[in-house]
Amino acid sequence: MNTVVGIICEYDPFHLGHKHQFKLIRARFPNAKIVCLMSGCFTQRGMLSLHTPAARAHAALHGGADLVLELPAAFALRDAENFALGGVHILSQLGFITHLCFGAEDDTDQLLPAARLLEEPTSEFASLLKSELATGISFAAAQGNALAACLPQCASLLNRPNNTLALCYLRALIRLKSTIVPFPVKRVGGYHDPSLMLDTFPSATAVRHAFLDGDTASVSSACGYKLPASPICKPDALDPVLLYRLRSMTPEELSKLPLCTEGLENRLFSCARDAATREGLIAAIKTKRYTHARLSRLCCHAMLSITSDFLADHPLPEYVRLLGFKKESADLLSLFNESSIPVISKAANADTTSSLFVLDTHAYDLWALGASLPAGLIFTQSVVIV
C-alpha cells in the first residue's frame, strides 16, 4: 500500500511552519500523499476562522497538500481530547491513511505510557485526579498533575504544551484500535506565540494578529503567499450575535450547554448582561478552572445551539466533506469508494436531515454573517482544484 499521511489541522492561516511539516513528511516518505483534515468556519480554540475553509484549503494545496477534507463543526469545537478523537476517527474510517503526522516535542515512545494510563486509568490515578480537581484548577491542569505523580519519568514531557495534542492523538489511536501509525515531528516555533518573528517559523496566532493590524508585508513573508483581503471574518464580528443569544437564554437553558455546570451557567447569565464584547465577557468569567479556550468554545456552542445532549447523541463524526484536491492526486478520490465513512463532495447532495450537517450549515451561515456575506455559503462553495 502506498504511504498516505494524514494531518489534523486548522491552517488559520496556512504558513511556512505548516509547509515545513510537509517537507519533513516527504523527507521521510518521498512518494507520500498528504491528506489534511481541517476545521471549518470555527476552530478548536473557539474562534471564527479568519478566512473561508475554501481559501485555507487552496493555500494548503498550493503549499504541498494533495487533498483537504473538513472536520465537522461539532468536533472542531471540542476540547483537545474530542477534537483529536473526531479527527482520528475520520482518518481511520477513510481506510487508506497509513500514518498520522503531528507536532510534538518528544517522540511517541516517551508519551505512550501517559496515553495508555489515560485510556486505562488506575484507581491511584483516579484518586489523584479527584484530589487535584478539588483544588479548583482546570481539568487539563489537574490531569497533568495526576499523570506526573503516577509517571514521574514523564513529568517534564507533560508540562510542554506542544505535547498536549500529541498525547490526545495517541489516546485516540489507542481507543479506536486504529492501524494508523503515529509520526511525530519536532514542532518549531511557538504554538500560540503572539509575536511575529520572521527569523523562525511563526505561530498562526502571530500571523492573524499581523494581518488584522495591516502588516501585509510581514504576513506575506511568514506565509510565503499573499493572504486574500476578503472575505474575512474578524474575531469580534459576531459579538452582538453572541451577547444577544446569551441574554435571551435562561440559566436552565445555559446549563444544557456542554460543560456549563457547577454554577457556571449562573455566572454566564449574569455577566452576559453587563459585557459589551465577547472578550470582555470571557475576562469577567475566566478563572483558573475555566480557561479562555473552554469559555470561548462555550460561546460558540451557545451561538450554534450545541447542547450536551446533542454531543452525546453524536459521539463520533458521521461523514466528512471534501474541500479540495490536486489534479495530479485525483486518484485518491477513487479510494473513497472503499471508505467506511461517507465523503460529501457537494453539499447539495448531503443528507439535509442529518443533525450534524444542519449544524455545519449553521456554522457556515454564522461565519458568512460575520463576513457580510449572504446565507447558504456551504452550498455555494465549490471544491477547490489546483
For the chain, list residues with pLDDT below 70: 1, 188-200
Instruction: From 16, 24, 55, 62, select the one nearest 38 (Cα to Cα).
Output: 55
Collapse the DSSP code of 64 into the 3-class scheme (helix H, G, I; strand E, B; otherwise coil) and give the result: coil
Calpha distance 78→305 (Å, rounded): 14
Q: Could you tell me if 93 and 185 are in contact, meaning their C-beta atoms sit under 8 angstroms apart?
A: no
**What is the grid cell recorded at 266?**
449562573
Tens digit of pLDDT for each residue in 2-12?
999 999 999 99
Collapse the DSSP code of 171 into the 3-class scheme (helix H, G, I; strand E, B; otherwise coil) and give the result: helix
Buried b (16+ CB within 10 A) or exposed e, 104-142: bbbebebbbebbebbeebeeebeebbeebbeeebbbbbb
Instruction: From 12, 13, 14, select the one nearest 34 (Cα to Cα).
Output: 14
Calpha distance 67→332 (Å, rounded): 8
> Which pLDDT value is given to residue 207?
94
List for the chain the helix, strand, coil content (%; round to 5).
50, 10, 35
Calpha distance 284→198 (Å, rounded): 34
Q: Which residue has the cell 459576531?
A: 238
Other CB atoms within a 10 A radius of the CB of residue 364 amount to: 25
Calpha distance 240→230 (Å, rounded): 21
> Which pLDDT value is given to residue 196?
61
Tens digit of pLDDT for each residue in 168-183?
999 999 999 999 999 9
**What is the grid cell recorded at 365?**
451561515
Per-position DSSP letters for 241-299, written without gaps between them: HHHHHHHTS-HHHHTTSTT--TTHHHHHHHHHTT-SSHHHHHHHH--SSS-HHHHHHHH
> Which pLDDT value is given to residue 109?
84
> Which pLDDT value is given to residue 105?
82
Q: List Cβ neighbours of 97 (8 Å cut-off, separation of 6 or more).
A: 4, 5, 6, 35, 91, 180
DSSP-assigned letter for residue 48: B
**What is the grid cell recorded at 176?**
479506536
Calpha distance 259→107 (Å, rounded): 32
> Which pLDDT value is given to residue 195?
56
> Which pLDDT value is given to residue 12?
97
> Which pLDDT value is given to residue 188?
67
